[in-house]
Amino acid sequence: MTHELGFIGAGNMAEAIARAAIDGGIIAASRMVACDPVEERRRVFASLGVTTTEQNADVIARSRHVLLAVKPQTLPQVGDELRAVDADGQVVMSIMAGIATETIEQAIGRPSRLVRIMPNTPLMVGRGMSAIALGKHARAGDDDLALRLFAAAGEAIRVEERMIDAITAVSGSGPAYLFYLAEAMEQAARDLGLSEHAGLLVRQTLLGSAELLGKGDQTPRELRRKVTSPGGTTEAAINHLDGNASTQVIVNAIKTAEQRSRELRG
């Protein structure tokens, strides 16, 4: 194999992984190859020094590790090409949401060394949270490269594949929950006559709060209590949320996301 890592799909997530690999000294650009049907995306990778191609078959033929970074619905289109995978000598990694390693193995047509990864979009700013699971026929250590790659763009943990649906619901979809909260906070700011500064007020508040939480020496509950003075404005807001069972609404929403992930996988 002439390349250590090949990308089938060269979108934003693949770009973030490639940049992390290069910046972290994990894989040199010259040891990567990327395929995408969109010329603009190929140009982005070429600007990084990564070899590009229009043929998925080139990636499969030349890469020790093949990363499937395409939309889940495109798996049938690349399925026939995946039959060329060397099931003994290559590791196939996937960030396709909702696609189990068993499904990819069926496309390949034989037992293969598969690694499934559930990242989230903050990967694109080096703050990702990724979970990595070995497929049924993977070998010990087949996830080593994935762990190094995704840890270079945030945090990465090893899990069993059966946990991926729950992780999808919590961290995979998690950024959308925060953005949903941000939308609501901006709406409230506008309603209160703060239209000019609504975006900045909310963004900086959430960024700063995330930084506090990221220090890791206090739990979310402890941090919340520090802001919540008895009889004060924050307590009034929290009491309103509690009175409307907001915590349970959020918990139920995440459980619904987990259920949908299982349905899609099925």
Percent of the chain with pLDDT over 70: 99
CB count in 10 Å sphere of residue 40: 8
Encode pLDDT of 176-232 as tens digits: 999 999 999 999 999 999 999 999 999 999 999 999 999 988 999 999 999 999 999
What is the reported pLDDT for 226? 95
| pLDDT surpasses 90 at 60 | yes
Shared domain for 46 and 159, answered yes or no, is yes
Residues 25 and 142 in one domain: yes
Q: Which residues contact 141 (CB under 8 A, 6 or more apart)?
A: none
CB atoms within 10 A of CB 23: 11
My answer on whether 106 and 82 are in the same domain is yes
- Tell me the pLDDT tens digit for each residue of 120-140: 999 999 999 999 999 999 999
Last residue of a domain, one of 147, 164, 181: 164
Task: Work out the average pLDDT over 3-21.
Answer: 97
In angstroms, the CA 112 to CA 90 distance is 8
Residues β-bridged to residue 53: 35
Helix (H) or strand (E) run with residue 176 in it: helix 174-191
CA distances from 81 to 25, 135, 145, 188, 214 (A): 30, 20, 23, 51, 42
Number of structural domains, the chain? 2
Residues 219 and 259 in one domain: yes
Considering the domain architecture, whether residues 9 and 92 belong to the same structural domain is answered as yes
Q: Which two tokens stand for residue 178?
A: 């925060």
Pair 188, 145 in one domain: no
Please name which of 61, 3, 71 lies closest in space to residue 37, comparing C-alpha atoms: 71
Same domain, 155 and 183: no
User: Per-residue pLDDT for 265 more than 80?
Assistant: no
Which whole-number Å values give the CA distances from 159 to 107, 133, 226, in the listed order? 23, 5, 34
C-alpha span between 38 and 11 (Å, rounded): 9
Residue in 122, 222, 238, 243 with CA at minimum distance from that of residue 171: 122
**Per-residue pLDDT tens digits for 105-116:** 999 999 999 999
Separation of alpha carbons 243 and 240, rounded Å: 5
- Identify the pLDDT of residue 80: 87
Same-domain pairing of 140 and 198? no
For residues 85 and 60, is the Cβ–Cβ distance under 8 A? yes
CA 259 to chain CA centroid, Å, is: 18
Q: How far apart are CA 197 and CA 233, in angstroms?
A: 20
Question: Where a domain ends, among 139, 164, 189?
Answer: 164
Q: Calculate Rg over the CA atoms of the chain.
A: 21
**Mean model confidence pLDDT for the chain:** 95
Phi, psi of 18, deg, nearest 5: -60, -45
| Pair (76, 153) in one structural domain | yes
Write out the residue range of the structural domain in which residue 243 sits. Answer: 172-265
From residue 208, give the alpha-carbon distance in Å to each of 71, 121, 174, 211, 215.
33, 19, 18, 5, 11
Please identify, among 164, 190, 221, the residue that sits at the C-terminal boundary of a domain. 164
Are 149 and 178 within one domain? Answer: no
Distance of alpha carbon 180 from alpha carbon 162, whole angstroms: 28
Look at 8-17, 43-52, 73-82, 100-109 and tell me which has the smallest mean pLDDT: 73-82
Residues 63 and 88 occupy one common structural domain: yes
Is 266 a residue whose pLDDT tops 80?
no
pLDDT at 1 over 70: no
Give residue 210's pLDDT. Answer: 96
Chain segment 151-185, per-residue pLDDT in tens: 999 999 999 999 999 999 999 999 999 999 999 99
Q: Say yes or no to pLDDT of 91 above 70.
A: yes
At 219 the pLDDT is 95
Report d(CA 134, CA 139) in Å as an integer.
8
One domain for residues 151 and 56: yes
